[in-house]
C-alpha cells in the first residue's frame, strides 16, 4: 500500500505539518490554556473520551478483520489535526478554541494515547507495540518545539511556516488520492463494506457526538460547531506515520487501510458538515461570549 518512497515523503510531510503546528504556538497560548481549564477538559474528553469509545464500539459491532480493527483503534486515539482548524474557519466557528483543542490533544496525547490504546487493545484482545508508539510520539514533538523556536525568533518566518504546515495537511489528502488510491484500487474494490463503514462512521459519529456534547454544555453555537469538528476530525497523517514506523510488511499495509480511507472521506464529510454549519450561522451567532467558551 505504501512504498519506501511514499514513506519517506510521508515522514517529511509529518515533520513539516508538526513544524507548522509548533510555529502557530507561543508560550502565551499555553498560559491561556492553563487559565481556561474548562476548555482543556472539553478538548481532552472529546478526543480521548468519545473518539476511542466510538472506535471501540465500531470494532465491537462491525465484522472487522484484526488488522483493520487495529487501524480503527489507532485512528480513534489520534489527536486533532490542523485540518480541523481550517474547517472551523470556513464553518465560522471559534478558531482560537479550535487551535487550543488541537494543541491540547497533541501535547497530552504523548501520555494519553499509549495508555488508552493499551486499555482498549486489552479489552479487544489486540496486540499493539506501545513502546514504538511512545517513541514515535515523543519524536514528533521535536518539530513542534522547533516551530515554536522559529516563531519566537522571527514572527514572519513563524507565520510562513504555520501556513505551509496547514496547507500541507490538506495536500496530504491529495497525495493519497493521486499516489495511494490508483495503486490500491483492487484493494479498495475487494475490501469489505464494514471497513468503509468504520472509516466513514468514525469521523461522522465523532462530529455528531461532539456537537451534542457541546450543546448539552450550553456552549455558544459557534463554539459548539468548533467542538464538533475538533472531535470528529482526527490527525490522519499522524496515524499513518505511527503505523508506518511501528509495524512492518503486510501487517502494516492492512492496518493502514482505515487511516488512509478515513483521511480521504473525512474531507468529504467535513465539507458537507461545514455547508450545514454555514447555513445555520446567523447574525446573532457572530457575537462570541466574553470567554473562550
Q: Are 105 and 79 in contact (CB under 8 A)?
A: yes
Examine residue 169 and state whether it is found in any structural domain, yes or no: yes
Whole-model pTM: value is: 0.83
Q: Is 199 exposed, middle or buried (CB count within 10 Å of its CB: 0-12, 13-18, 19+)?
A: buried
Identify the pLDDT of residue 158: 72
Domain that holds residue 220: 4-277
Examine residue 104 and state whether it is found in any structural domain, yes or no: yes
Q: Are 142 and 16 in contact (CB under 8 A)?
A: no
Examine residue 284 and state whether it is found in any structural domain, yes or no: no
Mean pLDDT of the chain: 81
Query: Which of the two residues, 179 and 33, has the higher pLDDT score?
Result: 179
Q: Is 125 left (phi over 0), alpha (psi -120 to 50) or beta?
A: left
The mean pLDDT of 138-154, rounded to a whole number, is 79
Examine residue 289 and state whether it is found in any structural domain, yes or no: no
CATH number of the domain to which 180 belongs: 1.20.1530.20
Looking from the CA of 47 toward its CB, the CA atoms found within 13 Å total 32
Tell me 24's DSSP state. T
pLDDT level of residue 15 (50, 70, 90 thresholds): confident
Examine residue 291 and state whether it is found in any structural domain, yes or no: no
Identify the pLDDT of residue 49: 94
Q: Is 45 exposed, middle or buried (CB count within 10 Å of its CB: 0-12, 13-18, 19+)?
A: middle
Examine residue 153 and state whether it is found in any structural domain, yes or no: yes
pLDDT at 1 over 70: no
Examine residue 155 and state whether it is found in any structural domain, yes or no: yes
Examine residue 58 and state whether it is found in any structural domain, yes or no: yes
- Model confidence pLDDT, tens digit, residues 40-71: 788 788 889 999 999 999 999 999 999 999 99
As a whole-number percent, the residues of the chain with pLDDT over 90 amount to 25
Distances (CA, A) of 93 to 21, 44, 170: 19, 19, 19
Number of domains in the chain: 1
Amino acid at each position: 500500500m505504501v512504498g519506501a518512497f511514499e514513506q519517506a515523503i510521508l515522514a517529511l510531510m509529518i515533520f513539516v505539518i508538526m513544524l507548522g503546528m509548533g510555529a502557530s504556538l507561543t508560550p502565551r497560548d499555553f498560559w491561556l490554556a492553563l487559565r481556561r481549564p474548562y476548555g482543556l477538559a472539553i478538548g481532552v474528553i472529546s478526543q480521548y473520551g468519545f473518539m476511542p469509545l466510538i472506535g471501540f464500539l465500531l470494532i465491537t459491532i462491525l465484522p472487522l478483520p484484526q488488522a483493520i480493527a487495529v487501524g480503527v483503534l489507532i485512528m480513534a486515539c489520534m489527536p486533532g489535526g490542523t485540518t480541523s482548524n481550517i474547517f472551523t474557519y470556513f464553518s465560522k466557528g471559534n478558531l482560537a478554541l479550535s487551535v487550543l483543542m488541537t494543541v491540547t490533544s497533541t501535547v497530552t496525547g504523548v501520555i494519553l494515547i499509549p495508555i488508552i490504546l493499551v486499555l482498549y487493545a486489552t479489552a479487544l484482545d489486540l496486540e499493539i507495540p506501545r513502546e514504538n508508539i511512545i517513541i514515535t510520539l515523543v519524536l514528533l514533538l521535536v518539530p513542534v518545539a522547533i516551530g515554536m523556536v522559529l516563531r519566537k525568533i522571527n514572527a514572519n518566518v513563524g507565520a510562513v511556516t504555520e501556513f505551509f504546515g496547514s496547507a500541507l495537511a490538506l495536500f496530504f489528502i491529495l497525495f493519497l488520492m493521486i499516489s495511494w488510491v490508483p495503486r490500491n484500487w483492487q484493494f479498495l474494490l475487494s475490501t469489505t463494506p464494514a471497513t468503509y463503514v468504520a472509516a466513514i462512521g468514525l469521523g461522522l459519529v465523532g462530529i455528531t457526538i461532539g456537537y451534542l456534547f457541546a450543546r448539552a454544555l450550553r456552549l455558544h453555537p459557534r463554539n459548539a460547531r468548533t467542538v464538533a469538528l475538533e472531535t470528529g476530525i482526527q490527525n490522519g497523517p499522524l496515524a499513518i506515520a505511527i503505523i508506518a514506523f511501528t509495524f512492518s510488511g503486510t501487517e502494516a499495509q492492512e492496518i493502514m487501510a482505515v487511516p488512509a480511507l478515513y483521511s480521504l472521506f473525512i474531507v468529504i464529510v467535513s465539507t458537507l458538515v461545514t455547508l450545514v454549519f454555514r447555513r445555520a450561522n446567523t447574525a446573532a451567532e457572530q457575537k462570541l461570549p466574553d470567554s473562550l467558551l
